[in-house]
């Protein structure tokens, strides 16, 4: 076998990642081995390691552990619902809903939609459907309030037509929410109640638009506040565990429900 010695200053590019030594020795018929101190390596192994994780063949497949996006989506939904519902209930005499636009756009809208996409990555069909849909609801509701979209102005001075159109918009979301109520009947009491009260909220708000009665809309606002509280409760239940708090939530299961362990 041939044996040659080379000083450290004449390393090849693939060998620049190895630990420094006084000298590097090569061994083998074609110098296929590299001797560093008392250790012996194959040149091919050192060359494959060069580039680290950028080399698909040499780098192991990355393993990621995804967090649960549901508390984030529920918190965004609850916050925005709470703000809008207080307006609908005309709390503190507020009758202009524009302050909700920022929350509906960025928190209840964009952030909740992102949480829904996150659920897609986890393979959660229900979570993705619910969070992406309600995130889109808040974005579309914000668009109605933003004048540059010209949605309200498209109806001119016909306020009754605008009210009826808004009623159809809310009624459609009530129908969608009813479907989610039906597919949460084997979950927990708090989770199913969240969608049930949200369904009632949409029904009352739609009825308020169709009838033009402020009292019905205010009732929808009151029920909406209850919905928001339930949303926050479910968000807390998903985020709280024994690692971060002494106040954990014990779920109350509906008949036929099974507690999932991760």
pLDDT band at 14 (very low <50, low <70, confident <90, very high): very low
- Residues 163-213 have pLDDT tens digits of 999 999 999 999 999 999 999 999 999 999 999 999 999 999 999 999 999
- If 0-12 CB within 10 Å is exposed, 13-18 middle and 19+ buried, where does residue 34 land? buried
Which of the given ranges, 27-36, 199-208, 236-245, has the highest pLDDT on average? 199-208
Q: Which has more pLDDT, 154 or 29?
A: 154
- Residues 119-147 have pLDDT tens digits of 999 999 999 999 999 999 999 999 999 99
Q: Which has more pLDDT, 34 or 95?
A: 95
- Cβ neighbours of 169 (radius 10 Å): 17
- Residues 108-125 have pLDDT tens digits of 999 999 999 999 999 999
pLDDT higher than threshold 80 for residue 23:
no
Q: Angle at the Cα of 198 (from 213 to 188), degrees rounded to 5? A: 155
DSSP 36-65: ETTEEEEHHHHHHHTTGGG-TTTSPPP---
Model pLDDT, residue 47: 55
List the one residue out of 23, 147, 131, 10 whose CA is nearest residue 78: 131
Helix, strand and coil content of the chain, in percent to the nearest 5, comes to 65, 10, 30
pLDDT higher than threshold 60 for residue 5:
no
Model pLDDT, residue 212: 96
- Rounded to whole angstroms, how far apart are CA atoms 53 and 1? 34
Distance from the Cα of residue 49 to its chain's centroid = 37
Q: 21 CB contacts (<8 Å, ≥6 apart)? A: 8, 36, 37
Model pLDDT, residue 21: 45
- Rounded to whole angstroms, how far apart are CA atoms 181 and 204? 16
- Rounded to whole angstroms, how far apart are CA atoms 28 and 19? 21
Model pLDDT, residue 256: 83
Q: Angle at the Cα of 107 (from 103 to 109), degrees rounded to 5? A: 90
pLDDT band at 258 (very low <50, low <70, confident <90, very high): confident
């Amino acid at each position: 076998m041939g044996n040659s010695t080379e000083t450290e200053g004449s390393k090849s590019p693939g060998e620049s990642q190895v630990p420094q030594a006084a000298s590097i020795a090569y061994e083998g018929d074609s110098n296929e081995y590299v001797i560093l101190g008392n250790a012996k390596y194959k040149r091919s192994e050192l060359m494959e390691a060069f580039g680290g994780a950028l080399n698909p063949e040499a780098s192991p497949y990355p393993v990621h552990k995804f967090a649960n996006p549901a508390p984030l989506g529920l918190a965004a939904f609850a916050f925005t619902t709470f703000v809008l519902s207080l307006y609908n209930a005309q709390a503190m005499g507020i009758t202009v809903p524009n302050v909700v636009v920022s929350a509906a756009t960025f928190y209840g809208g964009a952030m909740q939609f992102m949480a829904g996409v996150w659920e897609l990555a986890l393979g959660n069909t229900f979570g993705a459907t619910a969070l992406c849909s309600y995130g889109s609801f808040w974005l579309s509701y914000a668009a109605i309030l933003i004048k540059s979209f010209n949605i309200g102005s498209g109806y001119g001075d016909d306020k009754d037509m605008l009210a009826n159109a808004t009623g159809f918009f809310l009624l459609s979301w009530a129908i969608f929410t009813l479907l989610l109520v039906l597919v949460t009947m084997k979950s927990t009491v708090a989770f199913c109640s969240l969608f049930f009260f949200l369904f009632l909220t949409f029904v009352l708000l739609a009825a308020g638009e169709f009838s033009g009665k402020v009292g019905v809309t205010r009732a929808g606002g009151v029920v909406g506040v209850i919905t928001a509280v339930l949303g926050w409760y479910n968000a807390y239940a998903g985020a709280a565990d024994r690692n971060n708090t002494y106040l954990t939530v014990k779920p109350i299961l509906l008949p036929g429900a099974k507690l999932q362990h991760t």
